[in-house]
Amino acid sequence: MNVFEYANPTTTKEAAGLLAAQWGEAEILAGGTDLLSLMKNYVATPKRVVSLRGIKELSGITSSASGLRIGAMVTLQELHDHKAVHDDYHSLAHAAGSVPSPQIRNLGTVGGDLCQRPRCWYFRNGFGLLAKDEKGQPLVPAGDNRYHAIFGHPGGSPGAYYVHPSSLAPALITFGARVKVAGPKGEREIPLASFFATPKREGERENVLMPNEIVTEIILAAASKGMLTATYEVRQKEALDWPLATASVALRMSGDKVKSARIVLGHVAPVPWPAHEAEKLLAGQTITEDSAAKAGEAAVRGAKALSGNKYKVQLARVAVKRALLEAAAHGKEGMQHG
């Protein structure tokens, strides 16, 4: 690790003032589960580290009639254990609880989950987000791309091929979450669906944050009654690792028919990937093995597998189908109990 200065501000405003106008000069320390490895491997070499631990306004979950406000420093375990999250945002509680290992859930934060850097091994080995060789050619299409994107990549041209690592974003987006960020010019609110971005040029990042902005909270509208939700994750193993493909679904129901559906895939593209075609297909349908399978089909239409990750297309297809069936099963349980 390089030498750096450590700052421990007590307000968000003070913290934003300590960040730099250029990427890379200062880094934010929340839970530390990502930053410490990045710094040890010299992928991050900040001159200043700004800890958010001392900022009280970033902690806690507040539940009100208008919905839920989740502080950026809330840990994944707190999120998972929170009653309102468990009762009304089931797929989110599941996604938080599925992050492997109690130790990581106790340290990792909601803001950190959204802002963690990609797990792409080219990025982690110093080749940058766009993973280029010295001639500027992309390394991923001809390299080991088994865990890389099947959507939203430039298909052989230079560009981003990594998958976004957030565990919470797909579920949060199905609930229409908004993210509040604070910077030197004050606060702004962004729909989480537009928070993530695909870098096109060197120096661009995987979200729309400015270098001196901080995610301060997540805002969820009140859960609609009878909404059915689920997150389904396909993993290589249950030990510490990121999933290969995930699907989060939220279904607004009218009787046993879907009024409207939100479906977002994780770990398949440089951003959480909405499956709009599958959403449209489900409107007015009941969830059956058949309609769920067709939605899975629709969700992966247009997938562009790389040389080594065709298997992920099948995983994504099945993740959508199983998430839908699981959500529908919750609906049946609810009726039996209620």
Q: Which residues bind another protein (CB under 8 A)?
A: 1, 3-6, 8, 29, 31-33, 36-37, 39-40, 49, 51, 53, 77, 100-104, 106-107, 238-240
- Least gap, CB of 169 to another protein (angstroms): 21
- Least gap, CB of 46 to another protein (angstroms): 10
- Least gap, CB of 292 to another protein (angstroms): 26
The residue (of 32 and 154) whose beta carbon lies closer to another protein is 32
- Least gap, CB of 131 to another protein (angstroms): 21
What is the longest distance spanned by two Cα atoms in the chain?
Answer: 63
**Nearest to 300, CA basis, from 56, 309, 94:** 309
The residue (of 38 and 287) whose beta carbon lies closer to another protein is 38
Q: What is the dihedral of CA 167, 118, 236, 150, to 10 degrees?
A: 100
Beta bridge partners of 261: 251
Long-range contacts, stretch 291-300, CB < 8 angstroms, 24+ apart: 291/324, 292/320, 292/321, 292/322, 292/324, 292/325, 292/328, 293/321, 295/261, 295/263, 295/320, 295/321, 295/324, 296/320, 296/321, 296/324, 299/247, 299/263, 299/265, 299/275, 300/150
Long-range contacts, stretch 55-60, CB < 8 angstroms, 24+ apart: 55/9, 55/10, 55/11, 55/12, 55/15, 56/10, 57/11, 57/12, 57/216, 58/12, 58/111, 58/216, 58/217
- Least gap, CB of 137 to another protein (angstroms): 30
Angle at 81 between CA 77 and CA 83, to 5 degrees: 150
The residue (of 201 and 237) whose beta carbon lies closer to another protein is 237
The residue (of 102 and 284) whose beta carbon lies closer to another protein is 102
How far from each other are the two terminal CA atoms of the chain, in whole angstroms? 56
The residue (of 35 and 215) whose beta carbon lies closer to another protein is 35
The residue (of 1 and 283) whose beta carbon lies closer to another protein is 1
- Least gap, CB of 64 to another protein (angstroms): 27
**Nearest to 150, CA basis, from 52, 271, 40:** 271
- Least gap, CB of 81 to another protein (angstroms): 10
- Tell me the three state secondary structure of residue 119: coil
The residue (of 31 and 270) whose beta carbon lies closer to another protein is 31
The residue (of 12 and 109) whose beta carbon lies closer to another protein is 109
- Least gap, CB of 236 to another protein (angstroms): 14
